Amino acid sequence: MNKPEIREKIDLDKIMASAGCCAVSGHMRPDGDCIGSCLGLALFLRKKYPRVKTDVYLESIRNELKFLPGTESVITTPAPGGYDVFFCLDCADAERLGQNAVLMKESELTVCIDHHRTSVPGTDIAYIDPLSASASEIVALLLGEEQIDRDIASALYTGIVTDTGVFRYSSTTPSTMRIAAMLMEKGIDHSVICEEAFFMKTYAQQQIMGKALLDSVRFLDDRAVYTIVTREQMEKYQVTNADLDGISSQLRMTDGIHVAAFLNELGPEEFKVSLRSDEKVDVSRIAAAFGGGGHLRAAGCTVKGTADEAVEKLGGQILLQLAPETKQTR
């Protein structure tokens, strides 16, 4: 799975030169990085190339990110007909775009900017850097300090803090910090962004997190942990899929645990699985075994079967990487 990074020179002047309209979009169930990178790029394109009509398509904007500049103009339902240029951010293929895949298929020139190590580009031009902690970080580098104003900086900083867990995941590099510092120098309200975009939770989100942690089960000699949230529980606590973010990361922060698996029931015998790990396990490989993907320490996939079967299957894949180790007790 250690594919070399794919970097094609992205010359925005050249790409935009003959364009009359362009669209920017990102993956299904857009997270902070997806939304931040899309808004950051779109705000820049509208400023730098005012004669080009630039639209942003995202499935939805999370409530906690509605403070970001540009969210009011986001289109949530794709219109028929393509664009001269289509930018695909924080993912690389039509499948991950969900409903917005139609835009990619119908547009003239397609460009992807992504950082997922499992991504296989389905665009004409691709810039995929798995060593980058977020797509927003790549967009910041692409635009350059000169071109970034306060609004663009707010959007990109949001993407960086959400994808790095506020600079604490191992994906964070010195370069991440330098880019974040440059964005801070644009006068953004960095502590408000961290609070709003990452830490603040609704009461219902806190409750479902508590429930998921309380129900968690350690397995594989206490080296892994899983928890399940069912449709019934989601109904009871009145939460949506977006409210479940952060559960897998919180679960991973359990002493002695190398892998955390959060199973969210999608339907009968089908679970969306969110995986987190420490340096011992590459969860992108585990996710890939089930047709999913992601990063070394954070990945996702869908697993079919009853809850017991799903846990069993996941355990088998986790053991392939954990087996040589003996149980560590602290």
The residues of the shown chain that bind Mn ion, judged by CB under 5 A, are 33, 90, 134-135, 163
* Residue 305 CB partners (closer than 8 Å, separation 6+): 269, 271, 312, 313
**Alpha carbon distance 102, 82 (integer Å):** 8
CB of 157 to Mn ion, least distance (A): 14
Cβ-based nearer residue to Mn ion, 33 or 151:
33
CB of 136 to Mn ion, least distance (A): 7
- Smallest gap from residue 108 Cβ to Mn ion (A): 26
In whole angstroms, how close is the CB of 235 to Mn ion at the nearest point?
30
Q: Is 156 or 220 the residue whose CB approaches Mn ion more closely?
A: 156
Closer to Mn ion by Cβ: residue 93 or 163: 163
Give Cα 211 to chain centroid, integer Å: 24
Please report how close the Cβ of residue 33 comes to Mn ion at its closest, in angstroms: 3
Q: Which is nearer to Mn ion, 134 or 216 (CB)?
A: 134
Please identify, using beta-carbon distances, which residue of 133 and 148 lies nearer to Mn ion: 133
Q: What is the dihedral of CA 75, 25, 59, 197, to 10 degrees?
A: -100
Report, in Å, the least distance between residue 90 CB and Mn ion. Answer: 4
Contact 259, 271 (CB under 8 A): no
Q: What is the C-alpha separation between 59 and 77, in angstroms, rounded?
A: 7
Distance between first and last Cα of the chain:
32
Output Rg (C-alpha) for the chain, integer angstroms: 20
Give the bridge partners for 259, in sequence order: 224, 277
173's enclosing H/E stretch is none
Tell me the three state secondary structure of residue 174.
Answer: helix
Give 163 or 265: the residue with its C-beta nearer to Mn ion. 163
Q: How far is CA 102 from the centre of its chain?
A: 21
- Nearest residue to 141 via CA among 170, 179, 167, 114: 179
CB nearer Mn ion, residue 103 or residue 156: 156
For residues 191-200, one letter each, b for 16 or more C-beta atoms within 10 angstroms of the residue's C-beta and e for the rest, the string is eebbebbbee
Q: Give whole-number Cα distances, 246 to 22, 198, 205, 301, in Å.
A: 33, 9, 10, 16
- Minimal CB distance residue for Mn ion: 33
Decide whether 164 or 216 has the Cβ nearer to Mn ion.
Answer: 164
Question: Closest approach of Cβ 120 to Mn ion, in Å?
Answer: 16
Measured CA to CA, the distance from residue 165 to residue 47 in angstroms comes to 30
CB of 135 vs Mn ion, minimal distance in Å: 5
Nearer to Mn ion, 115 or 252 (CB): 115
Shortest reach from residue 26's CB to Mn ion, in Å: 9
